[in-house]
Amino acid sequence: MPEVSSEDSSHPIEIDRLIHEPARLQIMTQLYVVEEADFLFLMRKTGLTWGNLSSHMSRLEAAGYIEIKKEFLDKKPHTILRMTANGRAAFNDYQAAIRKVFADLPR
Amino acid sequence: MNEEKKLKSVERESFLELMQDGFTEILAGMIFLVFPAFFLEPGFLFIFVIFYIIFMPQVVEAIRRKYTYPRIGYVKLREGTPPKLTLEIPVAVLIIFVTIIAVLYIASMGVIDRLFIMKWMPAVFGFIMWGPSLYLKDKTGQNRYYLPGALMSLTGVVISLADFLPAELGTSIFMNGWGLAFTILGLVRFLLFIRKYPVAGSPEDARSEQ
């Protein structure tokens, strides 16, 4: 289950910490706007190293937010990532929560 | 609201990534170059449509797998419904344009014949190109994509107003001219693309060799 934080007990704003981490947020944002993408594309767009991307990818996969498809292209490994319906819903909730945090701030 | 703008901008960046390889321009150019052949043999149209619908997506994907994805990575864009504006404006412009021509022609008591259609075909195609132009503008957010629609409708009207004998010549000049322009533009973009992005050694290869 994703970790969740709350502001205070009277007005709890739930922030999904799994998505809130900057690197994972970048991965989720990229995958949210496309159907699927491979490792190289995500590395270029997020600026993460292979190791970093791989580790964050595993956590997102364990939470059921993304699915990973491994295949071979010209005998070379090729990893394709895709956001699941759960991941899409979680990302929508995350956006709504963040919007709520800032909506409550005085201007 | 800001998050939506940010997401739209990320989506546009992903779309632009794929547009860099120049294949869109090359494909458009090839379609325009082939088009005048339909006047010689209308049967080509059937073969072309079959080829375009059945084989073109696979051909493009195979080329991109070889040249594009090893350089910038693979991405499949989401296929949403086209924005209403994309369809409404060109259709409205086309209807207005065709209506004006029809009214003028009927006013002069003429009969719409094949020559008349041939004569005005470049203008009609020019206006139709507003459709792809507006679509690309919406997908990329870049105003330069208005240019093909504007230039093609302008040249289409100019060529239609000029008298060519036979009338098909005007359409052939329009199609071949733009076909050549798009193909050259696409090839230049492709060359710049492969220069800018050498084939990236996939980190997954190194990992698998360890």
Between CA B170 and CA B95 the distance in angstroms is 22
Query: What's the pLDDT score for residue A6?
Result: 47
| Rounded Cα–Cα distance for residues B77 and B62 (Å) | 16
Residue with tokens 């000049």: B173
What mean pLDDT is predicted for residues B42-54?
71
CB atoms within 10 A of CB B104: 10
- Mutation site for B-interface testing, chosen from A25, A39, A40 by largest number of B Cβ within 10 Å: A40
Q: What is the pLDDT of residue B37?
A: 78
CATH number at residue A44: 1.10.10.10
B58: confidence class by pLDDT, cuts 50, 70, 90: confident
Answer yes or no: is A105 within a domain. no
Distance CA B116, CA B210 (A): 70
Q: What is the pTM of this model?
A: 0.76
CA atoms of B166 and B118, how far apart (whole Å): 9
Q: Which two tokens stand for residue A1?
A: 């289950």
What are the boundaries of each domain within chain B? Answer: 2-204
Check pLDDT > 90 for residue B208.
no
- Distance from C-alpha of B191 to C-alpha of B22, rounded to nearest angstrom: 9
A59 in a domain, yes or no? yes
Domain carrying residue A45:
16-96
Distance from CA of A38 to the nearest CA of B (A): 5
The pLDDT tens digits for B71-90 are 999 998 887 644 455 566 56
In a domain, A101, yes or no: no
At residue B209, the pLDDT reads: 45
pLDDT of B192 reads 95
Give chain A's domain count: 1
Give me the pLDDT at residue B139, please.
Answer: 86
Give the up-direction half-sphere exposure of residue B31: CA atoms within 13 A in the CB hemisphere.
14
Query: Which residues does B8 contact at the CB level (< 8 Å), separation at least 6?
Result: B141
pLDDT at site B31: 84
Contact A31, A82 (CB under 8 A): yes
In-domain check, residue A64: yes
| pLDDT tens string B147-183 | 999 999 999 999 988 887 777 788 889 999 999 999 9
SS3 helix, strand, coil % of chain B, rounded to 5?
Answer: 80, 0, 20
Question: What is the sign of the dihedral through the CA atoms of A91, A97, A101 and A103?
Answer: positive
Please list the ranges in chain A whose pLDDT falls under 70.
1-11, 107
Please enumerate residues of A whose Cβ is less than 8 A from a Cβ of B: 29-30, 32-45, 50, 73, 76-80, 95, 98-99
